[in-house]
Chain A
Amino acid sequence: MPTATRRRAGVRRAVRRAGAPLLLLLPSLILVGVFVYGLIVANTRQSTTDNHTAAQATGQAPTTGVGLRNYLDLLGSEEFQHSLTNLVLYTVVFLVGTMVIGFAWAWLLDKPLRGEGIFRSVYLFPMAVSFIASGVVWRWLLNSNQGEQASGLNRLFQMIGLDALQNNWWNNVSVGIVAIAIPAIWQLSGYVMALFLAGFRGIPVELREAARVDGASEWKLYRHVLFPQLSPIALSALIIIGHMSLKAFDLIMSISKPANYQTKVPAVDMYVFKSAFDYANAAAVGTILLVIVAVVIVPYLVHTHRQGRR
């Protein structure tokens, strides 16, 4: 057979093998390509222009490319650095809080316990409430008035004689954002618990029995047998909570207000820029957020991809 014919036959075979799946995937590929990656490109292009006014946004005034100037200006401004610091603070506290509490609950529920189902539901329930709805309640609980005018948690502290614990919650300009992590932890700890509980239940009983037969103490059993088995779960939980935290917007908007300096995070900045017709800066903030989230998620995706192939 001549080489050309053989090659054509090979191509035909390849098309036959990949054609049908490709055809099935095509609609979603096109949709994702246009509406995710296409728009990311459009957004990035927008962020490198000087499109800062309403007139430019509608093409009445010319826009010119300014390269990375918007990024440099943003990252150099005290206000945006404050937003980034807030984001880091919020994420760290939110992550540590949900992981510690979620793990502790899972560990407690792992022991055979009567009424386990009830506890599980009770802990998981807050997740069913939307951030906006719980924010309305927490805005009242986290009222910053102290002394005679106090309400919410500060009033509760007074009633149980812990007056010293009263504080101005999210109105503290340097660490106030941490107060907003409290409701977030309250809502998501149950979810982390559910993840860990599934992890515990996934470990075969034989492993525990084997360890006990070999004379391992309870601590050693956890340290060397159970925890290593949970690390993929812990990683998933970290990624899920972490990317939620980086995109935090609704909870902050409903407890505080977009203009409040003490609770600014990049997502809020993006909203404020957009409302003031400053599309270039809004796009730049969006891209920065995307990069931050990518830094967290991409290594995880690479990791799971490698594991999947192994």
Chain B
Amino acid sequence: MVAAAAAVMALALAACGGGGDEPETEGGATGGSDEVEVFTWWAAGSEKAGLDALVAVFDEQHPDVTFINGAVAGGAGSQAKDLLQTRLQAQDPPDTFQAHAGAELQDYIDAAQIEPVTDLYDEFGLTDAFPADLMDRLTAEDGEIYSIPSNIHRANVVWTNRQVLTDAGLDPDATYDDLSSWMDDMETLKKAGVTPLAVAQAWTQVHLLETVLLADLGAEGYSGLWDGSTDWEGPEVKAALEDFQTLMGYTNTDRDGLDWPESQQLVIDGKAAFTVMGDWAEASYEEQKQELGTDYSAYAVPGTDGVFDFLADSFTLPVGAPHPDGANAWLETVGSAEGQEAFNKAKGSIPARTDVDMSTFGEYQQAAAEAFKSDTIVSSLAHGAAVPVATLTAITDATSKFTSGASDLATFQSELAAANAG
């Protein structure tokens, strides 16, 4: 007992000594490096496996800092976000918390709840390890970066059931140059009596909408939607919304009651031919022993080839965190090549760093990592990279109103424009 206490004391002292020669970040107080509470919604499945792998690397790199798991389960992160909101309001922040990288952080920035970590990018040598496009997407309006991404996901991916396509007389290896040829095949599938395109509740419909906008407007036009250089009221957006309307006509009628694993399952079970979902869907194929290329195919949404619609989980440095040094240690591990490799191999995503050896990753992940290096990177709408929470909520409401049949296309377009005007 006494020996253990003495050992802890010694470790703490050593940690304080070690902390001295590290340059301090803005506002970071000295001390408090003996533990770190990491707040995430990674509480189950491949996400938990990823976190465990990351913690193993962390324990190796920072044996003097105790990791405290602040994971909150439930509602795909919504429970965690509600609790986080309360804790930040009460000025009782965790040492670091998980958040989608990009515009979703804007609310925390505006509320002065997180600190810039731009200095840490230089310190940890991340600036050259991340693609230049990604650095642009991560940088907030004030020129600072506020989080360190742990993993990258791609949103613009079509998943197919090859058997269903073959049964309907279609070529399962066919790829499509644009949405219209894709929709032609959907018509064939509809006549054959299968659901051509599976979707789920409102956010997955927004996810579909974003890939349709990306396909019809191109990477530049799509990114222009978020900085104001593309006109939401214009004819190009109208044409894209018409495509979206047509695609929604090919979807399952029980969509609003499902969540994404259920709509994904419709495709896996052969009840639907296609679905558009981020590449976290890969994990459900792996669990069910499905083979890429024999049971299913996965490729960029037609019309978005060469574009990587990204979203990322990332870690922040809250203002007033009780253990800023512990948080710095955690952020260092998150950004390190070893941490990114261990975490992403277990979670099924790809590292944000381009210098990680991908040879031991899965087949899909290797292809995605290649694309991430060479493609144009744009920000995902449905997953918080492109717009702040309030805008996304307004867009989601307008989309649900439209797809449930309560508004027409013109109303939908003007509501989207209004949502982005703020």
- A residues contacting B by CB (< 8 A) are 52-55, 57-58, 60-61, 79, 82, 139, 142-146, 148-149, 168, 170-171, 173, 255-257, 259-262, 272, 275-278
A171–B201 contact, CB under 8 A?
A: no
B404–A173 contact, CB under 8 A?
A: yes
A149–B202 contact, CB under 8 A?
A: no
Given B253, B397, B405, which contacts A173 in the complex, CB threshold below 8 Å? B405
B201–A260 contact, CB under 8 A?
A: yes
Q: Return the chain A residue nearest B405 by Cβ.
A: A173
> With A and B bound together, what is the CA distance between A257 and B200 in angstroms?
11
B203–A259 contact, CB under 8 A?
A: yes
A60-B111, A170-B257, A256-B256 given; 12 more Cβ-contact pairs under 8 Å: A60-B110, A144-B254, A148-B193, A149-B254, A171-B254, A256-B257, A257-B201, A259-B201, A259-B203, A259-B400, A261-B400, A275-B78
Contacts of A170 in B (CB 8 A): 257
B372 in the interface (beta carbon within 8 A) = no
B253–A144 contact, CB under 8 A?
A: yes
Given contacts A257-B201, A260-B404, A275-B78, whether A54 and B111 have CB atoms under 8 Å apart is: yes
Which of B108, B110, B195 is most buried by chain A, counting CB atoms within 10 A of its CB?
B110
B252 in the interface (beta carbon within 8 A) = yes
Shortest Cβ-Cβ A-B pairs, 3 listed: A55-B110, A54-B107, A259-B202
Given B81, B257, B401, which contacts A144 in the complex, CB threshold below 8 Å? B257
Given contacts A145-B252, A168-B253, whether A58 and B89 have CB atoms under 8 Å apart is: yes
> With A and B bound together, what is the CA distance between A88 and B92 in angstroms?
40
Q: Return the chain A residue nearest B112 by Cβ.
A: A60
B201–A54 contact, CB under 8 A?
A: no
> With A and B bound together, what is the CA distance between A168 and B257 in angstroms?
11
Q: Whole-angstrom distance from the CB of B124 to the nearest CB of chain A?
A: 28
Q: Whole-angstrom distance from the CB of B257 to the nearest CB of chain A?
A: 6
Contacts of B393 in A (CB 8 A): 272, 275-276
Contacts of B239 in A (CB 8 A): none
Q: Whole-angstrom distance from the CB of B137 to the nearest CB of chain A?
A: 21
Contacts of A278 in B (CB 8 A): 390
- Identify 16 residue pairs between A and B in the complex whose beta-carbon atoms are under 8 Å apart, listed by A's number: A54-B389, A58-B89, A139-B257, A143-B254, A171-B404, A259-B201, A259-B397, A260-B404, A261-B404, A261-B406, A262-B256, A262-B404, A275-B78, A275-B393, A276-B393, A277-B390
> With A and B bound together, what is the CA distance between A82 and B394 in angstroms?
16
A257–B81 contact, CB under 8 A?
A: no
Contacts of A257 in B (CB 8 A): 201-202, 256-257
Interface residues of B in 27-83 (CB under 8 A from A): 78, 81-82
Q: Return the chain A residue nearest B195 by Cβ.
A: A149
A79–B401 contact, CB under 8 A?
A: yes
B113 in the interface (beta carbon within 8 A) = yes
Q: Whole-angstrom distance from the CB of B230 to the nearest CB of chain A?
A: 24
A277–B405 contact, CB under 8 A?
A: no
B107–A260 contact, CB under 8 A?
A: no
B396 in the interface (beta carbon within 8 A) = yes
A255–B257 contact, CB under 8 A?
A: yes
- B residues contacting A by CB (< 8 A) are 78, 81-82, 85, 88-89, 107-108, 110-113, 193, 195, 201-203, 252-254, 256-257, 271, 389-390, 393-394, 396-397, 400-401, 404-406
B389–A277 contact, CB under 8 A?
A: yes
Given contacts A82-B406, A145-B254, A149-B252, whether A277 and B107 have CB atoms under 8 Å apart is: yes
Contacts of B406 in A (CB 8 A): 82, 173, 261-262
B257–A276 contact, CB under 8 A?
A: no
Contacts of A261 in B (CB 8 A): 397, 400-401, 404, 406
Q: Return the chain A residue nearest B403 by Cβ.
A: A261
Which of A57, A255, A260 is most buried by chain B, counting CB atoms within 10 A of its CB?
A260
Contacts of B193 in A (CB 8 A): 148
Contacts of A146 in B (CB 8 A): 253
> With A and B bound together, what is the CA distance between A61 and B109 in angstroms?
12
Contacts of A145 in B (CB 8 A): 252-254
Q: Whole-angstrom distance from the CB of B350 to the nearest CB of chain A?
A: 29
> With A and B bound together, what is the CA distance between A262 and B201 in angstroms?
12
> With A and B bound together, what is the CA distance between A34 and B47 in angstroms?
42
Q: Whole-angstrom distance from the CB of A148 to the nearest CB of chain B?
A: 7
B389–A276 contact, CB under 8 A?
A: yes
Which of B85, B254, B396 is most buried by chain A, counting CB atoms within 10 A of its CB?
B254
Q: Whole-angstrom distance from the CB of B168 to the nearest CB of chain A?
A: 15
B111–A58 contact, CB under 8 A?
A: yes
B400–A260 contact, CB under 8 A?
A: yes
Contacts of B202 in A (CB 8 A): 257, 259-260
Q: Whole-angstrom distance from the CB of A180 to the nearest CB of chain B?
A: 11
Contacts of B203 in A (CB 8 A): 259
Contacts of A143 in B (CB 8 A): 254, 257
A53–B107 contact, CB under 8 A?
A: yes
> With A and B bound together, what is the CA distance between A145 and B251 in angstroms?
11
Which of B89, B108, B111, B201 is most buried by chain A, counting CB atoms within 10 A of its CB?
B111
> With A and B bound together, what is the CA distance between A145 and B266 in angstroms?
13
Q: Whole-angstrom distance from the CB of B361 to the nearest CB of chain A?
A: 34
Q: Return the chain A residue nearest B193 by Cβ.
A: A148
Which of B113, B252, B257, B271 is most buried by chain A, counting CB atoms within 10 A of its CB?
B257
Contacts of A53 in B (CB 8 A): 107, 110, 390
Q: Whole-angstrom distance from the CB of B188 to the nearest CB of chain A?
A: 17
> With A and B bound together, what is the CA distance between A168 and B201 in angstroms?
15
B257–A275 contact, CB under 8 A?
A: no
> With A and B bound together, what is the CA distance between A149 and B202 in angstroms?
21
Contacts of B271 in A (CB 8 A): 149
> With A and B bound together, what is the CA distance between A88 and B393 in angstroms?
25
Given B89, B110, B257, B390, which contacts A61 in the complex, CB threshold below 8 Å? B110
Q: Return the chain A residue nearest B401 by Cβ.
A: A261
> With A and B bound together, what is the CA distance between A10 and B193 in angstroms?
90
Q: Whole-angstrom distance from the CB of B149 to the nearest CB of chain A?
A: 21
A275–B81 contact, CB under 8 A?
A: yes
Q: Whole-angstrom distance from the CB of B382 to the nearest CB of chain A?
A: 11
Contacts of A260 in B (CB 8 A): 201-202, 256, 400, 404
Contacts of A173 in B (CB 8 A): 404-406
